[in-house]
């Protein structure tokens, strides 16, 4: 599993800025009252077009979390029978195709959704087999939670194609499990869930103001969280905090 995690991390690290852009864009739109699904879907499609090495861009929202109109969208293009906003733009036969995300509610294979929801932080997937409509491929993914004012609304994710012959794919096929793992580095048991979240974004180079925008809190609150983090992990500044996370 360690080797597979390194493979996933190596192939998805360069895509983290794309995911950050999608997450920030979605949260900004939602915070100003934009509830049109086509607007969010268009952002996903444009990101896919702009980054040809991506296999797909996608999002899954909690029931009725975006516009309260899940019932009206049941079984329409890009939706499943639940009507939830679960759009996925992926490459198929040289074109961009819109399909609904699957397996988000599966007990084992849906861990890529439940993990960022429970941990309130991004996660990555080891290479696993997956299906996009009729297309079966092996992918590695990076997923970020959509959080405003401490409330979880859903996730946004990006996929890269991986080798079907990788050890991760073979194990996933054999077990039926989804090997998801948090992108949080070393865990510190004394930190609260919110402090872990602030710590994650701090380690990714975000300023207090940027962290506040991401989490829907003031930069003063972020500063207080960081002071508590420093005290709990025994460091004096951000540089030492970065070293403590390695």
**pLDDT given for residue 244 in this prediction:** 72
Domain at 193-245, CATH from 3.40.50.300, 3.40.50.720, 3.40.228.10, 1.10.10.10: 1.10.10.10
Q: Do the Cβ atoms of 58 and 176 come closer than 8 Å? A: no
**pLDDT given for residue 172 in this prediction:** 52
Domain at 2-182, CATH from 3.50.50.60, 3.30.450.20, 3.10.450.50, 3.40.50.1000: 3.30.450.20
Specify the pTM: 0.67
Instruction: Domain ranges for the chain, please list them.
Output: 2-182, 193-245
Beta-strand (E) ranges in the chain? Answer: 56-61, 87-92, 95-100, 123-125, 128-132, 135-148, 151-162, 180-182
Q: What is the pLDDT of residues 72-119, one digit of tens each?
A: 999 999 999 999 999 999 987 778 999 999 889 887 778 889 989 988
């Amino acid at each position: 599993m360690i080797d597979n995690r390194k493979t996933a991390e190596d192939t998805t690290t360069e895509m983290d800025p794309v995911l950050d852009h999608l997450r920030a864009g979605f949260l900004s739109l939602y915070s100003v009252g934009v509830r049109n699904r086509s607007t969010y879907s268009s952002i996903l499609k444009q990101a896919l077009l702009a980054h040809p090495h991506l296999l797909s861009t996608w999002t899954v929202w909690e029931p009725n979390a975006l516009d309260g109109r899940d019932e009206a969208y049941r079984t329409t293009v890009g939706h499943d029978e639940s009507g939830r906003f679960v759009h996925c733009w992926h490459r198929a036969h040289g074109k961009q195709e819109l399909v609904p995300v699957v397996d988000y509610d599966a007990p084992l294979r849906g861990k890529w959704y439940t993990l960022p929801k429970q941990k309130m932080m991004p996660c990555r997937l080891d290479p696993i087999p997956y299906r996009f409509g009729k297309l079966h491929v092996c992918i590695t993914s990076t997923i970020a939670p959509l959080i405003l004012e401490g409330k979880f609304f859903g996730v946004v994710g990006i996929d890269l194609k991986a080798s079907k012959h990788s050890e991760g794919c073979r194990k996933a096929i054999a077990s039926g499990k989804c090997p998801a793992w948090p992108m949080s580095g070393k865990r510190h048991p004394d930190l609260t869930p919110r402090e872990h979240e602030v710590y994650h974004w701090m380690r990714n180079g975000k300023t207090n103001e940027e962290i506040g925008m991401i989490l829907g809190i003031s930069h003063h609150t972020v500063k207080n969280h960081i002071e508590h983090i420093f005290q709990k992990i025994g460091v004096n500044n951000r540089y030492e905090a970065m070293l403590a996370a390695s």
